[in-house]
Amino acid sequence: MPELTEIQKDLQALAACIRGSRQTLTREEVAAIRAPVLIAVGTKDVVAGSAQALAALIPGAQALDIPNRDHMLAVGDKVYKAGVIDFLNQRA
């Protein structure tokens, strides 16, 4: 089987996130994640929980606080966009 391209890997990861978005992982499963992870959460988000607490469980994960944003508005914020671009550029 040929090796997957980075785009194919990204699409597979996205599909897995969508399919498993309601699945709860154990602490051991979270600690076993070996992919680069950015956890971005609005500081007014009462749904997602603590970005820092989750990042502490995943080896090498980074947390990004999005000031004054809730669960619905965080991804449209310029802090989120800049943080994602910076995170991806660190891996380029």
Contact between residue 69 and residue 42 where contact means Cβ atoms under 8 Å apart: yes
Fold of domain 6-90? Rossmann fold (3.40.50)
Contacts of 36 (CB under 8 A, 6+ apart): 60, 87, 91
Q: Is the pLDDT of residue 1 over 70?
A: no
How much is the pLDDT for 66?
95
Q: Where are the domains of the chain?
A: 6-90
pLDDT digits (tens, 9 = 90+) for 15-54: 777 666 567 888 998 899 888 999 999 999 988 889 999 9
Q: Which of the pair, 82 or 9, is modelled with greater confidence?
A: 82
Of 50, 48, 36, nearest to 72 (Cα)? 48
Over pLDDT 70: what percentage of the chain? 90
Indicate the burial class of 35 (C-beta count within 10 angstroms; 0-12, 13-18, 19 or more).
exposed
pLDDT at 19: 66
